[in-house]
Amino acid sequence: MTRHDEPDPELEEIERLLAGRPEHAAPEPKFEGDLKNALNLWPQILQQQIASGLKASQLGVHVVRKPIGPIELAEIRKQTVRLVPLSGNSIAGDEGRSPAQALFDAIEHYHSLYKKPAVYELTFFYRFGKSGNVPGTTTAEIRLGQSEPQVEPRVGHRRVRNRELRTKFVGDVATRAEVDSVTVKKVLSGLLQHVHETLLKSSEILVPGLVLLKVVKGAPTPARKGVNPFTKEETHFAARPARLVVRALASRRLNRRLRQKARGREERALADPRPQPQRRDPIAAARTRAEISERIIAALGRVDEPVGIRDISKAVGLPLNALAASLKELQTSGRIQKRGKTKGAVYSLVQGSGGK
């Protein structure tokens, strides 16, 4: 054997690896129908994966629950829950149930724990044997709690807020008038129709006891440059032609009620029935301080040495805070003197004054 006929170990290893590698990667599985519908997607995933040699137990489903309806964005984030993943063999179905029915029953069990409209987002993945999500799939969903498919309103949208206000308004009026909400809605509908027709014919209409509506002609505004109040950037405002504008003026009765509320006459009496504290009579307060001063002088006159404020309080029979003003007046008038700091201060009568 010549040198060129000797086998090359590196070439043999490369040929061995190339022989065991498929010429092309396995094609990504294709699914039919609505891929966002989990009940349509799951049976196809199960069928294709079993056909490729996998078992149902090797598949799993991540489940995320998100509330739907006219609620705030912060509440949606707060109530979003990641639930316990489902194993493929538990939702593979059996003789009496299809895979789609088994998946629906599992999600319905989760839904029974919350009992509020929600969308359940499902992501299909490999539990073991392979890693990652099932190729060719996206996040699918199942909606529960709605009688028919509805378009989810944008969170924080003005229409959602206005609907809540209208519902509350109708309920409050029905409660005060002691009628049902249907009657209130009919009355409001008739009122609005009458107001619209009247404003189209004439320039004003009075809703008794509430408001006077007037149609006025708004002056045209030319194009101008200004500052955007939100971004604080210079911007260009387009010209606006003359237009009709509805102005609202509160009735006299409503203005009178609002002024009464501002003064707080009726509301203060109803909300706070407690008697208001009476102001102290300055003459009576001065007489009280004079009486306390005489009692302090009498207490200091019964001892021959300086006395602390606590001993004075015991002798007079009054708390410490009741003696402060009288002690200060006696010091200012020169009838008593104070020695020492605040905590260790002592008081005594001024020699020669006799306390008088």
Q: Which domains does the chain have, with CATH numbers?
A: 1-153 (no CATH), 157-201 (no CATH), 203-216+244-267 (no CATH), 282-349 (1.10.10.10)
Q: What is the mean pLDDT of residues 15-38?
A: 62
Q: What is the mean pLDDT of residues 308-333?
A: 85
pLDDT classification of 356: cutoffs 50, 70, 90: very low
- Distance CA(92)–CA(85), nearest Å, equals 14
What is the DSSP annotation of 180-225? Answer: -HHHHHHHHHHHHHHHHHHHHHSSEEEETTTEEEEEEEEPPB--EE
- Distance CA(65)–CA(62), nearest Å, equals 10
> First and final CA of the chain: distance in angstroms?
142
Name the 3-class secondary structure at 66.
Answer: strand
Q: What is the mean pLDDT of residues 73-102?
A: 83
- Distance CA(110)–CA(142), nearest Å, equals 12
User: Quick one: 50 exposed, middle or buried, by C-beta within 10 A (0-12, 13-18, 19+)?
Assistant: middle
Residue 86 has pLDDT above 60, yes or no: yes
The per-residue pLDDT of the chain, averaged, comes to: 78
Give pLDDT, residue 311: 87
Give pLDDT, residue 281: 66
- Strands (DSSP E) contained in the chain are 59-67, 81-82, 86-87, 118-126, 140-144, 204-207, 211-218, 224-227, 234-237, 243-250, 307-308, 336-339, 346-349
Residue 187 has pLDDT above 50, yes or no: yes
Residue 88 has pLDDT above 70, yes or no: yes
| Residue 249 vs residues 178, 202, 212, 262: alpha-carbon distances, Å | 29, 16, 5, 19
Residue 273 has pLDDT above 60, yes or no: no
Give pLDDT, residue 350: 83
* Letter string b/e over residues 186-221, b meaning 16 or more CB atoms within 10 A of that residue's CB: eeeeeeeeeeeeebeeeeebeeeeeeebeeeeeeee
Instruction: Write out pLDDT tens, residues 137-176.
Output: 778 888 887 644 444 444 444 555 677 778 888 888 888 8
Give pLDDT, residue 147: 44
Name the 3-class secondary structure at 247.
Answer: strand
Which residues on adjacent β-strands are paired with residue 32? none
Task: Return the closest-CA partner of residue 140 out of 240, 238, 63, 217.
Answer: 63
By mean pLDDT, which of 125-134, 182-191, 258-267 is the weakest? Answer: 258-267
pLDDT classification of 2: cutoffs 50, 70, 90: very low
Q: State percent of the chain over pLDDT 90.
A: 1
- Distance CA(104)–CA(110), nearest Å, equals 10
> In this predicted model, which residue has the larger pLDDT, 152 or 30?
30
Give pLDDT, residue 149: 43
Amino acid letter at 240? R
pLDDT classification of 20: cutoffs 50, 70, 90: low
Amino acid letter at 184? V
Q: State percent of the chain over pLDDT 70.
A: 78
User: Do the strands 81-82 and 59-67 form a parallel or antiparallel pair, or are they unpaired?
Assistant: antiparallel
By mean pLDDT, which of 6-15, 143-152, 262-271, 329-338 is the weakest? Answer: 143-152
Q: Are the CB atoms for 45 and 26 separated by under 8 Å?
A: no
Task: Return the closest-CA partner of residue 58 out of 5, 132, 2, 122.
Answer: 132
Instruction: Write out pLDDT tens, residues 275-302.
Output: 555 666 666 777 788 888 888 888 888 8
